């Protein structure tokens, strides 16, 4: 994964997603295939079109909502998964967001509705999806966690060196040890050592936990994940 090839791949995926969302009949199959790398997350990843429809949700989102993917996609998010008492308020806020009237939308907390009778509180990190041709807002994507799990008590970056943080960021974005060593101009064996220390000191059991840590501690942005 050279920097040039990675950038090209990102741009192609972005255009694929945008074209699928702009189609008169949304091609959910194309969208899901384009974003299949997000199924490894243990956080909810949700994409809404400008008309409030769910155009993508990952496996973690299906598990939270206790429904199959095909039973969720295409539904109005607010009508089906937001409690009645806050539904119209959030709908109005989303409408303003799609019109570019809101600037403070990055982080938000709200309840969601499960099986029509259970509510849980979610913490969301939000961003916009724009048409790269005219910069028009066409939807939003959000990373969500149950509130009690939003801030990890087990993982902390307080003892990490600057270099370890750099290595962690690159691994979270999908680079392999050889690619990280090239970008940081160090020997691959040094990168392998850094990775081993990260997993041991922070208690990671797998790549998924490393990725979640990086997201929750703002070491990488949602945009870094949306287009791999």
3-state SS of the chain?
Answer: CCHHHHHHHHHHHHHHHHHHHHCCCCCHHHHHHHCHHHHHCCCEEEEEECCCEEEEECHHHHHHHCCCHHHHCCCEHHHHHCCHHHHHHHHHHHHHHHCCCCCCCCEEEEEEEECCCEEEEEEEEEEEEECCCCCCEEEEEEEEEEHHHCCCCCCCCCCCCHHHHHHHHHHHCCCCHHHHHHHHCCCHHHHHHHHHHHHHHHCCCCHHHHHHHHHHCCCCCHHHHHCC
Residue 12 has pLDDT above 80, yes or no: no
What is the Cα–Cα distance from 5 to 196, expressed in whole angstroms?
A: 27
For 18-36, what is the mean pLDDT? 72
Q: Report the pLDDT value the prediction gives residue 1, as an integer from 0 to 100.
A: 43
Please tell me the class of the 162-226 domain: mainly alpha
* 149's tokens: 């799990």
pLDDT in tens, 135-174: 889 899 899 988 754 334 344 545 778 888 899 988 888 8
Q: Report the pLDDT value the prediction gives residue 29, as an integer from 0 to 100.
A: 81
With contact defined as beta carbons under 8 Å apart, do 54 and 72 qualify?
Answer: yes
Residue 8 has pLDDT above 70, yes or no: no
Q: Report the pLDDT value the prediction gives residue 21, as an integer from 0 to 100.
A: 67
Q: Report the pLDDT value the prediction gives residue 158, as an integer from 0 to 100.
A: 52
Where does the pLDDT of residue 44 fall: very low under 50, low under 70, confident under 90, or very high at 90 and above?
very high
Residue 108 has pLDDT above 90, yes or no: no
For residue 74, how far is the Cα from the chain centroid? 19
In CATH terms, the fold of domain 3-149 is Beta-Lactamase (3.30.450)
With contact defined as beta carbons under 8 Å apart, do 227 and 14 qualify?
Answer: yes
Q: In the chain, what are the domain boundaries?
A: 3-149, 162-226
Where does the pLDDT of residue 133 fall: very low under 50, low under 70, confident under 90, or very high at 90 and above?
confident
Q: Report the pLDDT value the prediction gives residue 161, as an integer from 0 to 100.
A: 83
Where does the pLDDT of residue 16 fall: very low under 50, low under 70, confident under 90, or very high at 90 and above?
low
Residue 127 has pLDDT above 70, yes or no: yes
What is the Cα–Cα distance from 57 to 36, expressed in whole angstroms?
A: 10
Q: Report the pLDDT value the prediction gives residue 112, as an integer from 0 to 100.
A: 94
């Amino acid at each position: 994964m050279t920097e040039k090839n990675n950038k090209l791949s990102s741009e192609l995926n972005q255009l694929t997603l945008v074209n699928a969302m702009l189609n008169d009949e949304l091609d959910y199959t194309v969208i899901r295939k384009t974003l299949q790398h997000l199924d490894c997350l243990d956080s909810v990843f949700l994409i809404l079109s400008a008309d409030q429809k769910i155009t993508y949700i990952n496996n973690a989102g299906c598990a939270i909502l206790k429904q199959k993917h095909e039973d969720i996609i295409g539904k109005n998010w607010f009508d089906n998964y937001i409690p009645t008492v806050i539904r119209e308020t959030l709908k109005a806020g989303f409408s303003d967001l799609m019109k570019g009237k809101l600037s403070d939308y990055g982080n938000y907390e709200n309840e969601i509705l499960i099986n029509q009778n259970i509510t849980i509180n979610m913490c969301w990190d939000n961003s916009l999806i724009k048409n790269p041709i005219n910069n028009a807002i066409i939807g939003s994507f959000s990373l969500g966690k149950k509130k009690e799990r939003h801030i990890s008590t087990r993982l902390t970056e307080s003892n990490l060196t600057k270099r370890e943080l750099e290595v962690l960021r690159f691994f979270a974005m999908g680079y392999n040890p050889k690619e990280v060593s090239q970008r940081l101009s160090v020997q691959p064996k040094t990168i392998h050592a850094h990775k081993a220390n990260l997993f041991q000191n922070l208690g990671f059991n797998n790549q998924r936990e490393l990725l979640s840590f990086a997201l929750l501690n703002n070491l990488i942005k949602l945009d870094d994940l949306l287009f791999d």
